[in-house]
Structure 1
């Protein structure tokens, strides 16, 4: 007697994939609507724009004998500004992504639906990155155009620096959004998640560089300065972002050799430096998914 087997349904996998994509898009759209209505995010976007415009006014001031494109000056200044503001905005977006759902009692409903935890996080991630992208494009886009026309226009290639800054800022923000999910999924109170987010920002943006500076002062010609420091500099996504943008612009035209020194001191150069924030984002998403699996509906 021939056994009767059940042949796989060829339409099952596509249907399941469609359900996953629908769940991701629905969650992302919800987060975009919530993010755009969030007053903290609107305020952060305005701060980003105001600081950028202030830097435009400073950068468009006379530079003496140094002939520097106004857009180049602004991009260099915004690169330093982004290291502080973009991670902060990203953490403000993500610190209550999970803890806030627990506080409001809505996480149980989300986890009870036929949507995996990874799908929930990916949908939130796409939505939050979209909101951050809107803020960065508006703030830096307007600032770049103002600097371009304030400098007399003409050199359209200078806008490539602005586009590169916007793209790398979005990558940096996406990294800290994913890192914020780890803090949000690890606690059950929004206040605790906010405190963790501030601690992450303080360590990554301020204390980490101070520790590296202390190591350089203690070992100027030792193993730390020659071997460990370059890798530790690239390891930090904020420092990697700054290195990438400072090395990409013409640092010599700024009357400074900072970009050249940074480029020669690091083991990676060019676009390869941005491997660090991308790798951190992927690792943080994986870790936050693992932590979220410990939460019971």
Structure 2
């Protein structure tokens, strides 16, 4: 445990020195505040409070930005240390590869959580100042923050898998971009094409909701939507959430970081320096 804490502290210092923590926090804060201000024009038309509209918009923001930030933090974790010659030195210490991986993960997850809480929390504070916050919307914001952190944890783990399997930072960067494109962008487009082709058939009713929940990015949407009927109205994906048990989306968000870390540990263990 002491080794994990020491490694996590070292990695967190590196994260701060490289400005990743500051950049991530500023990026999420600027977009979240902008979306909250933009939501002032729509809250009256939909008859829901400002924070509900803001959370719906920030959910989409989280689906796109949080995985990207997580991958940028993680893609060179192993391959970058290998290129710089630091990995061989670290592996010469009496610390297991699993311990090394967990220490890095805790540091990166802490940095990501700080960025999410400050970024989305600032939007909640702005909505409160404008006087349009209700109990259900505060619950939605809290669920969004927790879900976004779990989503980031999934993509941190995916980044470690990529980094462990890549022999260079350039290869890691390319693979990370490909994974982000597939899971965050193309996955939904492919499902949309199939749903349109199915035209309300068995796939749309029985398979489509489960495939959505299987993708951590879409699981975040489903998890946030279940917070309140207003969120379902604002996001427009209430139909899919109604077809699934309430625990499915949360289970997906909790399971993917563990699955990803397990795969990363196996890939890291097979890497020869």
Shorter-normalised TM-score: what interval? over 0.9
Cα pair distance change 1:103/1:72, threshold 3 Å: same
Alignment partner of 1:248 out of 197, 214, 227: 227
Deviates more, 1:239-248 or 1:158-167: 158-167
Deviation at 1:217, TM superposition (A): 1.6
- Preserved contact between residue 71 and residue 151 of structure 1 (Cα < 8 Å): no
Query: Distance between the aligned counterparts of 1:130 and 1:252, measured in 2?
Result: 28
Residue 277 of structure 1 pairs with residue 256 of structure 2: no
Deviation at 1:41, TM superposition (A): 4.4
- Map of 1:1-297 to 2, 5 A cutoff? 21-61=1-41, 63-64=43-44, 66-151=46-131, 155=134, 158-251=137-230, 254=233, 258-265=236-243, 267-269=244-246, 271-297=247-273
Cα pair distance change 1:176/1:253, threshold 3 Å: closer
Whichever structure has more helix as a proportion of its residues is 2
Task: Report the equivalent of 1:10.
Answer: none
- Preserved contact between residue 247 and residue 262 of structure 1 (Cα < 8 Å): no
Cα pair distance change 1:59/1:119, threshold 3 Å: same
- Preserved contact between residue 183 and residue 217 of structure 2 (Cα < 8 Å): yes
Deviation at 1:138, TM superposition (A): 1.0
Equivalent residue of 1:60, what SS? helix
Cα pair distance change 1:63/1:131, threshold 3 Å: closer
Question: What are the Cα deviations for residues 82-124 of structure 1, in whole angstroms up to 9, with x where unaligned?
Answer: 0000000000110011011101101011111111111111111
Provide structure 2 residue ranges, at least 5 long, that are not aligned to the other structure: none
Cα pair distance change 1:186/1:62, threshold 3 Å: closer
Cα pair distance change 1:193/1:65, threshold 3 Å: closer
Query: Distance between the aligned counterparts of 2:239 and 2:210, measured in 1?
Result: 15
Equivalent residue of 1:83, what SS? helix
Question: What are the Cα deviations for residues 31-60 of structure 1, in whole angstroms up to 9, with x where unaligned?
Answer: 111112223443232121111011111112
Query: Distance between the aligned counterparts of 2:47 and 2:145, measured in 1?
Result: 24
Q: Rg bigger for which structure? A: 1
Deviation at 1:253, TM superposition (A): 8.5
Cα pair distance change 1:76/1:125, threshold 3 Å: same
Equivalent residue of 2:76, what SS? coil
Query: Distance between the aligned counterparts of 1:90 and 1:81, measured in 2?
Result: 14
| Deviation >6 Å, runs of 4+ | none
Q: TM-score, normalised by structure 1?
A: 0.86
Query: Distance between the aligned counterparts of 2:137 and 2:221, measured in 1?
Result: 18
Equivalent residue of 1:248, what SS? coil
Query: Distance between the aligned counterparts of 2:242 and 2:113, measured in 1?
Result: 31
